[in-house]
Amino acid sequence: MVAEWQGQLKEFVNTIDRLEQYVNLTDEERKVLTTNTTTWGTTPYFASLMDRDDPNCPIRKQVIPSRHEQENVFGMDNYLVWKENRATDEVRPDSIARQYKDRVAFTVTQTCGIYCRHCFRKELVVDGDLTLDFNVDEGLDWIAAHPEVRDVLITGGDPLLLPDDQIAYLLDRLRAIPHLEMIRIGSRLPIVLPSRITENLQKILGQYHKVPIWINTQCNHPKELTEDTARAVFDLMRCGVNVGNQAVLLKGINDDVETFRALHQKLLTVRIRPYYVFYCEAAPGIDHFRTSVEKGAELIRDALRGHTTGLAQPMYVVATNIGKIPLMPNYTIEGKTDQEYTLKNHLGDTTTIPNIPE
Ligand code: SF4
């Protein structure tokens, strides 16, 4: 029997005919799709969340290719090689990317449940300009031979699109590595294909308690959060998996105060903990999604800090080849003397606390 999530993949919305079941295409969208040579599309479930008539629908803009993708000015060529430190002297399999001593990213597939138009890994998953050899056993052997690695991020593509037996194999092998303390999985499926969180997958994920699994998903707009996602996240948590969100700051999608606040508040209502907001990276062909670097910190200041619960506060970061650089709003310490600190809150009010000598 074909499971619901597998049926969704069979009906993947990646042709104009299928897309037209969900939206009335504009002339421009149709023209771009007719000449498009990149991988695009999403699940029928996620496509059904698009606005039928509004080309500015925040979900539609993440799914349907834009003519602006051809207008690259600021995007860096070979971005992923730069970003993931692939041109270094350290001998590593293609599947292993490393920016830190104690943790690595382990790429196991280049298939996705949505081919996000803003993806920073687009050279690999959307454009097909970068080819990597994903030999899973080679990656596992490398991790096992590096005792300094205590934390592995399984990434892609979307790792949860692998068949259950392959996910089980991967997790069994990783959990048997004595120096591994935690496993993270980067997956947009709780958002774009929540039916993937089947009972069998829950059994696989929930089998051991000693090496915790964290799933970080990507939700960029409150419209993406549905009852189906809420149920999937609940099921993941019931089997011991914590779920966090890594949003991308996207111009015209979530870069205004109201949307940014609504997104982070709604994430908590479905038990997803806001973890990061990423500045939209300098990958090629996504200039049109990029804001100023300062914008994310301004949004944290104007939409979240003091305006809503501390649980809804992600860290705003710029991801680079030397790691993530946090850029949080710098408005809290207004002044400092030998006697006291002057602190400012989100409303601009100030107060003082004693400066206690160390
Ligand atoms: S799901 Fe992730 S890897 Fe796939 S296109 Fe979207 S952002 Fe990129």
Tens of pLDDT along the chain (358 residues)? Answer: 899 999 999 999 999 999 999 999 999 999 999 999 999 999 999 999 999 999 999 999 999 999 999 998 999 988 988 887 777 777 888 899 888 889 999 999 999 999 999 999 988 888 888 888 888 999 999 999 999 999 999 998 999 999 999 999 999 999 999 999 999 999 999 999 999 999 999 999 998 778 999 999 999 999 999 999 999 999 999 999 999 999 999 999 999 999 999 999 999 999 999 999 999 999 999 999 999 999 999 999 999 998 999 999 999 999 988 889 999 887 677 889 999 989 888 788 899 988 987 7
In angstroms, what CA-CA distances link 246 with 68, 118, 172? 24, 14, 26
Looking up residue 72, the CATH number of its domain turns out to be 3.20.20.70
Strands 242-248 and 96-98: unpaired
Tokens linked to 230: 């809420």
Helix (H, G, I), strand (E, B) or coil at 122: helix
CA-closest residue to ligand 1 atom 7 = 119
Residues 6+ apart with CB under 8 A from 236: 190, 197, 202, 205, 215, 243
Residues 110 and 24 grouped into a single domain: yes
Task: Report CA(296)–ligand 1 centroid distance (Å).
Answer: 21
Residue 215 shares a structural domain with residue 347: no
Ligand 1: centre distance to CA 283 (Å): 13
**Domain match, 261 and 346 both:** no
If one counts the domains in the chain, the total is: 2
251 and 358 inside one domain: no
225 with 348, same domain? no
Chain mean position to CA 287: 18
User: What does pTM read for this prediction?
Assistant: 0.93
Q: Is the CB of 157 under 6 A from ligand 1?
A: yes
Q: With a 6 A CB cut-off, is 264 part of the ligand 1 pocket?
A: no
**Does ligand 1 lie within 6 Å of residue 114's CB atom?**
yes
On whether both 202 and 79 belong to a single domain, the answer is yes
Q: What is the pLDDT of residue 81?
A: 84
Spacing, Cα 111 to ligand 1 middle (Å): 9
| DSSP H or E stretch at residue 244 | strand 242-248
Looking at residue 166, its amino acid is Q
Instruction: Pull the structure tokens for residue 199.
Output: 């009972």
Question: Residue 118: CB within 6 Å of ligand 1?
Answer: no
- Compute the radius of gyration of the chain from its Cα atoms: 21
What is the domain range of residue 307? 4-327
160 lines ligand 1 (CB under 6 A): no
Question: Are residues 258 and 224 in contact, defined by beta-carbon separation less than 8 angstroms?
Answer: no
SS3 label, residue 324 = strand
Question: 242-248 and 333-336 as β-strands: parallel, antiparallel, unpaired?
Answer: unpaired
Are 38 and 182 found together in one domain? Answer: yes
Specify whether 105 is located in the same domain as 61: yes
Q: Are residues 239 and 337 in the same domain?
A: no
Residue 281 DSSP symbol: P
Here the tokens at position 172 are 């069994």
Bridge partner list, 319: 324
Compute the residue count for the chain.
358
Residue bearing the CA closest to ligand 1, atom 6: 116
Instruction: Say yes or no: CB of residue 119 within 6 Å of ligand 1.
Output: yes
Pairing of β 151-155 and β 103-107: parallel
Q: Is 59 helix (H, G, I), strand (E, B) or coil?
A: helix
Mark whether 80 and 130 lie in a shared domain.
Answer: yes
**Half-sphere exposure for 44 (CA within 13 Å, toward CB):** 13
Assess whether 224 and 341 both reside in one domain: no
Domain match, 323 and 336 both: no
Q: What is the pLDDT of residue 245?
A: 98
- Residue 154 alpha carbon to ligand 1 centre in Å: 13
